[in-house]
């Protein structure tokens, strides 16, 4: 895909990896949809940064767990630009709960996490697929997690939802070929407001130190370095579909499970 003039929707793009992805795509000539649910100030800041990089932007408040919102986001992009070339399913949800305490998770917790991480991603694909097919070189990147392979992370519900997203990535790669490629990335630990707010600053920094000490590459990725792989899957991975790239500094080689 040539990103010059392309239209890329990045869900959950007010902060973190989503914001970094939108900015990097903008720097390569794409026009971007900045999506958020609550972080309006940060979303506006990301949109302003993308415009400074030369992109046209569309700011869209939408909850991907709501099908009508997904269809509206796609429709607004098409109304503005007449096309959709790429989708990054970055919006995610979790609850923080000890895996050792099975009583810490309820059925409602699972449904809440799955509604965004799995159903939301599916609904965004369904809303955008007809337009992605028209381009003939459409691409989707689902943001999964190394938790989907290790079973560790913020909660069992989160890890299980990302495992489901991995399977759905393969299913969609088959269903949407040959016009649309569908891949996933599975980051390990990286700096984010989500982690620091969920764990508290002290535990978060301890976890980062533990991660960096344990992994083979002795460093953690940043949102910006992760975005490089996401954008590459949009623009450069012409013959890759149904793949899941682990971006975890080699954590999966050790079976490392942060505590």
Catalytic one of 36, 122, 158, 204: 158
Contact call for residues 243 and 183 (beta carbons, < 8 A)? yes
Sheet with 86-89: strands ordered across: 57-61, 31-36, 7-10, 86-89, 138-143, 180-187, 244-247
| Residue 82, token pair as written in the block | 């007449």
Query: Which residue has 């938790």 as its token pair?
Result: 147
Contact call for residues 4 and 29 (beta carbons, < 8 A)? yes
Contacts of residues 208-216 at CB distance under 8 Å and 24 or more positions apart, as own/partner, are 210/258, 210/259, 211/249, 211/251, 211/256, 211/258, 212/249, 214/251, 214/254, 214/256, 215/188, 215/248, 215/249, 215/250, 215/251, 215/254, 215/256, 216/249, 216/250, 216/253, 216/254
96 phi and psi angles, rounded to 5 deg: -95, 115
What is the per-residue burial (b if ≥16 Cβ within 10 Å, else e) of 210-243? Answer: ebeeebeeeebbebeebbebbbbbbbebeeebee
| Residue 15, token pair as written in the block | 């902060």
How many other CB atoms are there within 10 angstroms of residue 98's CB atom?
Answer: 12
What interhelical angle do 121-135 and 156-176 show, nearest 10?
20
Q: Please indicate whether residue 158 is annotated as part of the active site.
A: yes
Residues classed as catalytic = 158
């Amino acid at each position: 895909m040539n990103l010059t003039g392309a239209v890329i929707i990045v869900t959950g793009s007010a902060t973190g990896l989503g914001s970094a992805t939108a900015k990097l795509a903008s720097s390569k000539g794409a026009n971007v949809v900045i999506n958020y649910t609550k972080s309006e100030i940060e979303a506006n800041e990301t949109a302003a940064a993308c415009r400074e990089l030369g992109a046209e932007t569309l700011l869209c408040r939408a909850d991907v767990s709501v099908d009508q919102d997904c269809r509206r986001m796609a429709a607004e992009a098409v109304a503005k630009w007449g096309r959709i070339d790429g989708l990054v399913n970055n919006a995610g949800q979790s609850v923080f709960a000890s895996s050792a305490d099975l009583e810490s998770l309820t059925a409602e917790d699972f449904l809440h996490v799955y509604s965004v991480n799995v159903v939301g991603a599916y609904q965004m694909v369904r809303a955008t697929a007809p337009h992605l097919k028209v381009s003939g070189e459409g691409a989707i990147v689902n943001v999964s997690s190394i938790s989907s392979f290790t079973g560790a992370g913020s909660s069992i519900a989160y890890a299980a939802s990302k495992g489901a997203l991995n399977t759905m990535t393969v299913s969609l790669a088959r269903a949407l070929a040959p016009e649309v490629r569908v891949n996933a990335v599975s980051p390990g630990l990286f700096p984010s407001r989500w982690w620091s707010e969920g764990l508290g600053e002290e535990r978060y920094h301890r976890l980062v130190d533990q991660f960096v000490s344990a992994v083979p590459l002795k460093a953690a990725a940043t949102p910006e370095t992760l975005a490089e792989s996401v954008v590459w899957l949009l623009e450069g991975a012409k013959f890759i579909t149904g793949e899941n790239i682990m971006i975890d500094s080699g954590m999966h080689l050790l079976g490392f499970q942060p505590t």
